[in-house]
Amino acid sequence: MSTAELSFSETRAGSRRNLVGLSREALAALFGEAFSLEPKKARMRASQVWRWIYHFGATDFDRMTDIGKEMRGGLAERFFIARPEVVERQVSTDGARKYLLRMAPGTEVECVFIPDVGRAGALCVSSQVGCTLNCTFCHTGTQKLVRNLTAAEIVGQVLAVKDDLGEWPSNREDRRLSNIVFMGMGEPLYNLDNVAAAIAVIADGDGVSISRRRITVSTSGVVPEIPRLGETTNAMLAISLHATNDALRDRLVPINRKYPIAELLAACRAYPDLSNARRITFEYVMLKGVNDTDAEARELVRLLSNIPAKINLIPFNPWPGAPYECSSWRRIEAFADIVNRAGYASPIRTPRGRDILAACGQLKSESVKQRASERLRAQTAGPAS
Ligand code: SAH
Ligand code: SF4
């Protein structure tokens, strides 16, 4: 079987193994075993191959010219370096790019590249297919199919987008992909092992080299996993707060019934290495007549007063059948004004990629819908079209 026919999620093609997403240590162990190398030599090979995969974007062992020809042949016999298949790619008028990636038959995830966010541009990656937490304003939460993505499938999103942006080698001065946000489909703290393994690969300075302070993990509030996120990844934390009292948050973000606001904020205060340069981002979706009064803006500021925080007001992105509307622009500005006066700079998150339905909480479901309608069109058009 050629790698082109493979589904990315297969870790094996016949006797060959996909190397994407494995740690350096795992690579060294595989090479040590495959070629009977001493640990030191195996580690050296792992470093060379690592650099080719993550610094140069190689998918072919023949490019690895600092490795002898014979060894390259041996590697190609036993291993391969795969990419998820880009099923759809849409570019917004504002430069945002949305990708639908096929990991395996029937397993498709979306990720979105958003220019001019962070140092240069951010890639919003998915951590699960769908999501088990039914936040009432989120379209992803209405999807039935849910599974965790593997570390390889998370790293695969980054590699596929770097291919598309032409961002190899990774240390280019003019890189457009400078930040990663786990704000696509899924709850990353329900898949923390794989998320942490993926972050270790992405943050490695001899590869993709996106530093941990430019990687943000957003959670709806899985409180018991927040300390481990800090300890194992040292990534930046974002909290989907969306309400300032438990009665309302219970409704909007149902996991709040398990871990209420006071517990969530206590976990935030204990997050490692917080400072003015390392703040927690609090996301707050603006829902008309639900959570958008001046009193709530003041309460939000009060709640966060003893946490180094950034506030991100997200205009609600509507989806068909959604039970909410976005607050009016005037309301959002008035709310932002109060937040602003409390010392938080530019708190409104400009909606991006709206024309391609690339915005928060809209991922995947729309593309499924669209493709269903395409199928319908194809069916009704008949075989001649
Ligand atoms: N599950 C994680 C990360 C993915 S959601 C979490 O909930 O934090 C990323 C962000 O998009 C979250 O803040 C989420 O609350 C927000 N979001 C979801 N649906 C939205 C919508 N329709 N409009 C605006 N923001 C939305
Ligand atoms: Fe899941 Fe986040 Fe959507 Fe809630 S907002 S349903 S946690 S993806």
Check whether residue 76 and residue 95 sit in a common domain: no
Domain presence at residue 383: no
Instruction: Calculate what percentage of the chain has a pLDDT beyond 90.
Output: 72
Q: What is the pLDDT of residues 58-98, one digit of tens each?
A: 999 999 999 999 999 999 999 999 999 999 999 888 888 99
Give the distance (Å) from ligand 1 centre to CA of residue 127.
Answer: 13
Ligand 1, atom 11: closest residue by C-alpha:
360
Give the distance (Å) from ligand 1 centre to CA of residue 238.
Answer: 11
Contacts of 189 (CB under 8 A, 6+ apart): 195, 217, 219, 222, 225, 226, 229
pLDDT of 189 over the 90 cut: yes
Cβ–Cβ under 8 Å, residues 335 and 286: yes
Q: 300: buried, middle or exposed (CB in 10 Å: 19+, 13-18, 0-12)?
A: buried
Beta strands in 296-347 (DSSP E): 309-315
Q: Which residue has the higher pLDDT, 144 or 107?
A: 107
Ligand 1 binding pocket includes 218 (Cβ within 6 Å): yes
Ligand 2 binding pocket includes 220 (Cβ within 6 Å): yes
Cβ–Cβ under 8 Å, residues 103 and 84: yes
Check whether residue 97 and residue 51 sit in a common domain: no
Ligand 2 binding pocket includes 131 (Cβ within 6 Å): yes
Domain presence at residue 69: yes
State the average pLDDT over residues 176-200. 96
Q: Which of 80, 100, 131 is the last residue of a domain?
A: 80
Check whether residue 69 and residue 90 sit in a common domain: no
Q: What is the pLDDT of residues 3-34, one digit of tens each?
A: 445 577 776 667 789 999 999 999 999 999 99
Structural domain for 26, as ranges: 3-80
State the ligand closest to the CA atom of 242: 1
Q: Which atom of ligand 1 is nearest to the CA of 361?
A: 19
Nearest to 108 by CA among 185, 20, 204: 185
pLDDT of 379 over the 50 cut: no
The number of distinct structural domains making up the chain is 2
Ligand 1 binding pocket includes 264 (Cβ within 6 Å): no
Average pLDDT, the chain: 88
Instruction: Calculate what percentage of the chain has a pLDDT beyond 70.
Output: 87
Ligand 2 binding pocket includes 133 (Cβ within 6 Å): yes
Check whether residue 143 and residue 228 sit in a common domain: yes
Q: What is the pLDDT of residues 209-243, one digit of tens each?
A: 999 999 999 999 999 999 999 999 999 999 999 99
- Provide the CATH number for the domain around residue 12: 1.10.150.530
pLDDT band at residue 360 using 50, 70 and 90 as cut-offs: low
pLDDT of 300 over the 80 cut: yes
Ligand 1, atom 13: closest residue by C-alpha:
240
Ligand 1, atom 9: closest residue by C-alpha:
183
In degrees and rounded to multiples of 5, residue 293 shows phi and psi of -80, 165
pLDDT of 285 over the 90 cut: yes
Q: What is the pLDDT of residues 367-376, one digit of tens each?
A: 444 444 554 4
Check whether residue 26 and residue 137 sit in a common domain: no
Ligand 1 binding pocket includes 316 (Cβ within 6 Å): yes
Q: Which of 31, 58, 80 is the last residue of a domain?
A: 80
pLDDT of 130 over the 90 cut: no
pLDDT attached to residue 381 = 47
- Provide the CATH number for the domain around residue 285: 3.20.20.70
Check whether residue 127 and residue 70 sit in a common domain: no
Give the distance (Å) from ligand 1 centre to CA of residue 284.
Answer: 9
Check whether residue 55 and residue 18 sit in a common domain: yes
State the average pLDDT over residues 321-331. 94
Domain presence at residue 376: no
Domain presence at residue 368: no
Check whether residue 69 and residue 131 sit in a common domain: no
Domain presence at residue 220: yes
Check whether residue 93 and residue 75 sit in a common domain: no
Q: Which atom of ligand 2 is nearest to the CA of 140?
A: 3
Q: Which atom of ligand 1 is nearest to the CA of 242?
A: 15
pLDDT of 349 over the 80 cut: no
CA distances from 84 to 105, 107, 109, 360 (A): 11, 11, 10, 22
Residue the block writes with tokens 């036993």: 78
Check whether residue 303 and residue 321 sit in a common domain: yes
Q: Which of 45, 80, 115 is the last residue of a domain?
A: 80
State the ligand closest to the CA atom of 138: 1
Ligand 1, atom 1: closest residue by C-alpha:
187
Ligand 1 binding pocket includes 80 (Cβ within 6 Å): no
Pairing of strands 128-129, 120-124: unpaired
pLDDT of 128 over the 80 cut: yes
Check whether residue 149 and residue 15 sit in a common domain: no
Check whether residue 8 and residue 26 sit in a common domain: yes
Q: What is the set of active-site residues?
A: 110, 360
Q: Which residue has the higher pLDDT, 366 or 283?
A: 283
Ligand 2 binding pocket includes 317 (Cβ within 6 Å): no
Domain presence at residue 364: no
Domain presence at residue 283: yes
